[in-house]
């Protein structure tokens, strides 16, 4: 998977753990299958906008808080 998906997963996992919410707890809060939450958390899947917003709402943050920063410099 892409580096961006892994960076997203790292931010999600960090914020989820900071708020002391387990994968199972996040699954219950979002009505997203726990095994799918695990795959998101490990950076194995590219999630939909709908799931991004469900997760952000459950974590009480803005969707942008979960997004990785991008390098805007010219290579």
Tokens of 35: 């095994």
- CATH (domain of 19): 1.10.260.40
Q: How many domains does the chain have?
A: 1
Segments forming the whole domain that contains residue 23: 3-61
Domain membership of residue 48 (yes or no) is yes
Q: Cα dist. 51→45, 58, 74 in Å? A: 12, 10, 32
pLDDT at 70: 79
Residue 46: CB partners within 8 Å, gap ≥ 6? Answer: 1, 2, 5
In a domain, 44, yes or no: yes
Q: Is 67 within the bounds of a domain?
A: no
Residue 66: predicted pLDDT: 95
pLDDT of residue 74: 66
Segment-wise mean pLDDT, segments of 10 residues, the chain, 75 residues: 89 96 98 97 96 98 92 72
Residue found by looking up tokens 């803005």 in the block: 62
| pLDDT given at position 1 | 55
51 lies in some domain? yes
Q: Is residue 30 part of a domain?
A: yes
Q: Does any domain span residue 73? A: no
Terminal-to-terminal C-alpha distance of the chain? 22
């Amino acid at each position: 998977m892409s580096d961006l998906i892994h960076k997203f997963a790292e931010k999600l996992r960090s914020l989820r753990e900071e708020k002391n919410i387990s994968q199972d707890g996040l699954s219950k809060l979002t009505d997203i299958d726990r095994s799918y939450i695990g795959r998101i958390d490990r950076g194995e899947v590219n999630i939909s906008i709908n799931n991004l917003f469900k997760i952000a709402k459950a974590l009480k943050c803005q969707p942008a808080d979960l997004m990785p920063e991008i390098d805007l410099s010219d290579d």
